[in-house]
Amino acid sequence: MRNSTVNRKTGETDIKVNICLDVCEQGVIKSGCGFLDHMLTLFAKHANITLSVLCQGDTYVDYHHTTEDIGIALGEALKNALGDKRGISRYSDIILPMDEALILAAMDISGRGMLCFDMDIPAEKVGDFDTELAEEFFRAFANNAGITLHIRKLAGKNSHHIIEGAFKAVARCVRGSVKIDAEVKDEIPSTKGVL
C-alpha cells in the first residue's frame, strides 16, 4: 500500500496530512478555509486517492501560511508515498474543461521540483480566499513532491471555475502519473535508474 502521513508544525501552522494512493475513500479535510477545503476535496476525488488534511493555522492573519504549508505537506506526503517510484507511469497531461474555463496541466514525476504557472485569474478573491494563493499552493506542492508541473489557462472568465479547473486538472495528472504501468511494473521509469 502506497501511503504516507506527514506532520508539519511551525509557528504559523500545525498540519497533519495523510495520503493513500491505492485506495479512494472519503477522508477528513479541515483546513480552516472553506474554499481550500472544497479544492482539496475535489482534488482527492479526481486523483482517485484517499486524502485527509487537518490544519490549525494563523487564519486570523490570512490564508497564506495555511495554503502554502498544506501544499508543502501534501507534496512531501506524495513523494513519500511513491517510494522509489518503481513501476509508475511518471508522465500525465490533460486539457480539462470547467464550464467556460479550459485548463491545461502536465506533470512529470521527475524528482525535480518545478512549477510553470500561466494563469490569469481575474478576481483578487473567491469568497475570502486570495486567488494568488493558488499559485503558492501549487509551487509548494510541486517543489516538495519533486515534480515538474505546468498549469496554463487556455480560456476562462470566472475565477472560481479557473481555480477549480486547475485543481481538477492537476488531480487528474496525479492520477495518471502515479498509476502503476503493468508493462514496466518492476522498473524505475528513467534511464538513470533513479528518480
Q: Average pLDDT in the 47-59 region?
A: 98
Say if 195 falls within a structural domain.
no
Strand partners, 129: 126
Residue 59 forms part of a structural domain = yes
* Predicted local distance difference test score (pLDDT) of residue 76: 98
- Residue 189 falls inside a structural domain: no
With a pLDDT cut of 90, the percent of the chain lying above it is 98
Q: How many domains does the chain have?
A: 1
96: β partners: 103
| CATH for 151 | 3.30.230.40
Residue 62's beta-bridge partner residues? none
**How far apart (Å, rounded) are the C-alpha atoms in residues 61 and 9?**
17
Using DSSP, state whether 134 is helix, strand or coil: helix
pTM greater than the 0.85 cutoff: yes
Mean pLDDT value across residues 34-43: 98
**CB distance 13 to 65 below 8 Å:** yes
For the cut 90, the answer to whether the pLDDT of residue 24 exceeds it is no
Q: What is the pLDDT of residues 98-145, one digit of tens each?
A: 999 999 999 999 999 999 999 999 999 999 999 999 999 999 999 999
Lowest mean pLDDT, pick from 47-51, 173-177, 182-186: 182-186
* pLDDT value of residue 101: 98
Between CA 77 and CA 88, with CA 83 as vertex, the angle to 5 degrees is 105
pLDDT by residue (tens digit) across 56-68? 999 999 999 999 9
Distance (Å, rounded) from C-alpha 109 to C-alpha 183? 18
Mean pLDDT of the chain: 97
Domain span at residue 93 reads: 3-184
Residue 54 lies in a domain: yes
Instruction: Write out pLDDT tens, residues 86-95.
Output: 999 999 999 9
Measured between alpha carbons, how far is 112 from 81 in angstroms, rounded to an integer? 16
Question: Tell me, what's the pLDDT at 154?
Answer: 98
Grid cell for residue 35: 474554499
User: Domain for residue 191, yes or no?
Assistant: no
Euclidean distance between the first and the last CA atom of the chain, given in angstroms as a whole number: 20
* C-alpha–C-alpha distance, residues 70 and 57, integer Å: 10
Across the range 51-60, mean pLDDT stands at 97
